[in-house]
Amino acid sequence: MSDVLREQKRYYAERAPEYDDWWYRRGRYELEPEALARWRADVAETEAALEGFAPGGSVLELAAGTGIWTRRLVGLADRVVAVDANAETLALNTSDAELVRADVFEWEPAERFDLVFFSFWLSHVPEERFDEFWSLVRAALVPRGRVFLVDSGAGDTAHTGTDQADGEETRSLAGGRTFRIVKRRWRHDELAERVRPLGFELALRDSANGHFLYGAGSVVGEADDARPETPAPPAPGGAEGRSRDG
């Protein structure tokens, strides 16, 4: 594991107590009312897209963190297995899921799932581990299994990270400690094109205010050679925004 990935792992372990503050815009992540409305509109849009996608059966969540999305998944699927590298984040996750402490870059699935879900994770995967990560996703899925992902929007640059260069940036905790992490912001069309040779057909979009990239797709080439029709998740009406962190 590279130095930056080790530092990234430590960052998210130590950030666990304040991670949800970022999502719910509390404390140092608080927004002005209009900006908060835009953020909440994008959150609602993305949550509605996941509901409309109707994840069912067995779900594997990779880099599950404190469980913001795990809690939504357990209400939609029959079974959720949530994998994360850090005990600190899993301690804040929900016991309604099967929690597994394991580094995503080292873990191998012992079974196959109907859906693999990951949020705000792919942007932390360096290029040299990108194909390997998608091989893990494919190995964890049943034939023609499905994927749903959420991440930072490519145009959402108002993050707390500084010194952003070459797919990395510096992040700080509330107490002032700094960490170097991977952060790669994908355009939806670029990402869809990048994973196609790896055996995935994804339909991706940006949320109305640009905070998030999200979408869904499936494995192709196992059951047959036809590409599945994978519509972009529906976007409810609503507009406005930009973000911080993730």
Q: Given pLDDT bands bounded at 50, 70 and 90, which one contains residue 222? A: low
% of the chain at pLDDT higher than 90: 82
Average pLDDT over residues 102-125: 97
68-82, 94-108, 158-172: which range is least confident on average? Answer: 158-172
* Interatomic CA distance for residues 99 and 83, integer angstroms: 6
The pLDDT of residue 65: 98
Only one residue has tokens 């969540």, namely: 61
Average pLDDT over residues 229-241: 42
What fold, for 3-219?
A: Rossmann fold (3.40.50)
Alpha carbon separation from 97 to 115, 148, 231 (Å, rounded): 14, 18, 28
3-state secondary structure string, the chain? Answer: CCHHHHHHHHHHHHHHHHHHHHHHCCHHHCCCHHHHHHHHHHHHHHHHHHHHHCCCCEEEEECCCCCCCHHHHCCCCCEEEEEECCHHHHCCCCCCCEEEECCCCCCCCCCCEEEEEEECCHHHCCHHHHHHHHHHHHHCEEEEEEEEEEEECCCCCCCCCEEEECCEEEEECCCCCEEEEECCCCCHHHHHHHHHHHCEEEEEEECCCCCEEEEEEEECCCCCCCCCCCCCCCCCCCCCCCCCCC
Q: Which residues pair with 184 in a beta bridge?
A: none
The pLDDT of residue 161: 66
* Interatomic CA distance for residues 1 and 231, integer angstroms: 36
How many C-beta neighbours within 10 Å does residue 226 have?
Answer: 10
Domain extents in the chain: 3-219
The pLDDT of residue 154: 87
